[in-house]
Amino acid sequence: MKQFLPDFTPHATQRLIKKNAILIYQGEVPRQAYILLSGVVKVYRLDKFGNEQIVNFHVAGDVFPSTWIFGKTTSALFYYESMEETKILTIERARFLDIANNSAPIHQYLFDMFVNNYTSLLLQTNALEQSRATEKIAMMLYYLLFRFGDQEKPGEYSIHFKLTHTTLGNLVGLTRETTNVELTKLRKRGIVEYENSCFTIHRQALEKFIGSENFTDIQLAH
């Protein structure tokens, strides 16, 4: 999205959002479209008991809330909350759509973005379908690797945003305590390392553990 910002900037407002600020509330009718410039936004819902259920993360270059922007819903389906200090552009939906629809490169970028999100969410769904806690977390790490991982060394991928055990547990529907135990097992297998909420995933060890030969040719852009 960075290369297309000059198309949007004259019609948009840049904002700096503090950590843990809610940008959009579930059920709210958004007033503008959001383009994420930096930082991470957590997407989640609250169940009837007030438990957080994370459905996605947005990173730099993402546009949201997409279902509202493209007219599939009249309000936001989820909460959108900054996980760290975040920069965004806000722009009127009609203006955003007008610019996007009249630029083939932007239209292609958005198409690729949604295909990437769709593909990675299939991995996330597969993780949630696992019956055992260890496999749930292992497959969710695979989702995080493809969607957000940057290869620092051959086969070694880092997730460059703070991912606490509580957040990971909410992502897979497990308690923090269970997540702690299962992550310790995976660390002992050489699959994952973590320090100060920063995760490093060893792809080969992870793929050997989950038997993911059917997924190894997935190519996702960041």
Q: What is the pLDDT of residue 14?
A: 95
pLDDT band of residue 74 (cuts 50, 70, 90) is: very high
Instruction: Find out if CATH 1.20.1250.20 is the number for domain 2-102.
Output: no
For residues 26-33, give the mean pLDDT.
93
User: What pLDDT, in 10s, does the model give residues 41-59?
Assistant: 999 998 888 888 888 899 9
Best CATH choice for the domain 110-210 from the list 3.40.605.10, 3.30.565.10, 3.30.460.10, 1.10.10.10 = 1.10.10.10
Which percentage of the chain shows pLDDT scores above 70?
95
pLDDT band of residue 205 (cuts 50, 70, 90) is: very high
Asked whether the beta carbons of 76 and 22 are under 8 A apart, the reply is no
Q: Is the dihedral of CA 85, 89, 94, 98 positive or negative?
A: negative
pLDDT band of residue 7 (cuts 50, 70, 90) is: confident
| Rg of the chain, C-alpha, whole Å | 18
Higher pLDDT, 57 or 6: 57
Q: Is the dihedral of CA 82, 2, 220, 183 positive or negative?
A: negative
Asked whether the beta carbons of 1 and 63 are under 8 A apart, the reply is yes
How far apart are alpha carbons 140 and 123 in whole angstroms? Answer: 7
Would the pLDDT of 28 be above 60?
Answer: yes
Asked whether the beta carbons of 82 and 19 are under 8 A apart, the reply is yes
Q: What is the pLDDT of residue 199?
A: 92
For residues 145-157, give the mean pLDDT.
89
- DSSP 8-state symbol, 58: E
Q: What is the pLDDT of residue 50?
A: 84
pTM of the model: 0.84
Domain ranges of the chain: 2-102, 110-210
